[in-house]
Amino acid sequence: MNIIKNHIHALLEKDQRLDGRKLDEIRKNITIEYGVSPNSAEGSARVKIGNTEVVAGIKFEVIEPYPDQPDKGTIMAGVELLPLSSPEFESGPPNIWAVELARAVVDRGLRESGAIDFKSLCIKKNEAAWAVIIDVYSMNDDGNLADAIGLCALAALKDAKFPKYDEKSKKVIYEERTNKGISLKEMPIPITVIKIKDKILVDPSLDEEECADARLTITTLEDGRVCALQKGEREPLTIEDVEKMIDLSIKKGKELRKLFK
């Protein structure tokens, strides 16, 4: 690892990266595939960024609305870093990294952006509302799982169709799906930027992640506003760093936004 680390450092001095990308360049081969589990999940998708791959699925459940939000439904986000996707990941309940990704990238991005109108998920005030459950699984970790997970959750939501709900029996009829989808008012796009020494780079590869002194995942909206931030790793960032990183994430967010059109 040290040899690679030294090499990454040396290249960065010349503004170069191990895989030949520019510092502000996202891997070119990004793909979004919809409906990867079309018969089981009400919505599903696969996102690949280079060799990094994740899948996401949506399940709907009907819940009693929370007492403080009687006319709203809710979303629940889960991320699992499968041991199938990397020799570094272990079996067991979601570890802190998986929890961070679920909360900081998927849940916060969707919640704070107002992407989903929680009122539209209400079926009957005080009695029944939809819970949209988003589960994202890593399939192959080759760096920057965070952005892949965020994009994949969005894609699966876009793919989702509500199942039928029978108000009399208070049961969801999963075999029958309606044509109604979840209307997404915003597309919150997460972009992860890392700092190695004094260089700032986007879409880190696995080796670059290992060298990261600081990391910031920035989720932006179409109009350039920021809707979620999550800083990681041990080194501090200056205000100038943060500003630079946000500019970069707005620019890159625009590029990725095109994938959904």
Partner 1 sequence: MYKKRSDGRKFDEIRPTQAKVGIIKRADGSAMFQIGKTIAIAAVYGPRELYPKFLQDHSKGILRCNYNMMSFSGSGERVRPGGSRRSKEISMLTESALSPVLDLSEFPGAVVDVFVEILQSDAGTRCAGICAAAMALADAGFNMKDLVSAVSVGRVEDKLVTDLDNVEEHYENEREVADIPVAIMPRTGKITLLQMDGICSKEQLSKALELAQEACKKIYAVQKKALTEKYKI
Q: Which residues contact partner 1 by CB under 8 A?
A: 36-42, 44, 51, 53, 55, 57-59, 61, 78, 80, 82-87, 91, 93, 133, 135, 137, 139-142, 172, 174-175
The span from the CA of 91 to the CA of 48, in Å, is 23
- Whole-number minimum distance, CB 241 to partner 1, in Å? 31
Q: Is the dihedral of CA 214, 87, 80, 173 positive or negative?
A: positive
In the complex, least distance from residue 221 CB atom to partner 1, rounded to whole angstroms: 27
Cα-to-chain-centroid distance, residue 96: 16
H or E element at residue 246: helix 239-257
Among 122, 132, 131, 134, residue whose Cα is nearest residue 167: 122
User: How far apart are alpha carbons 194 and 245 in whole angstroms?
Assistant: 8
Q: Which is nearer to partner 1, 67 or 87 (CB)?
A: 87
Beta bridge partners of 124: 128
**CB of 60 vs partner 1, minimal distance in Å:** 9
Nearer to partner 1, 60 or 118 (CB): 60
Show Cβ contacts of residue 101 under 8 Å, excluding neighbours closer than 6 positions.
Answer: 79, 81, 136, 145, 146, 149
Determine the Cα–Cα distance for residues 150 and 164; give it in Å rounded to an integer: 27
Which of 70/94 has CB closer to partner 1? 94
User: Cβ 41 to partner 1, closest distance in Å?
Assistant: 4
Nearer to partner 1, 82 or 184 (CB): 82
66/174 with CB nearer partner 1 = 174
Stated length of the chain: 261
Output the smallest distance, CB 77 to partner 1, in A: 11
**2/40 with CB nearer partner 1:** 40
| Nearest distance from C-beta of residue 219 to partner 1, angstroms | 23
Rounded CA-CA distance 33/241 in Å is 34
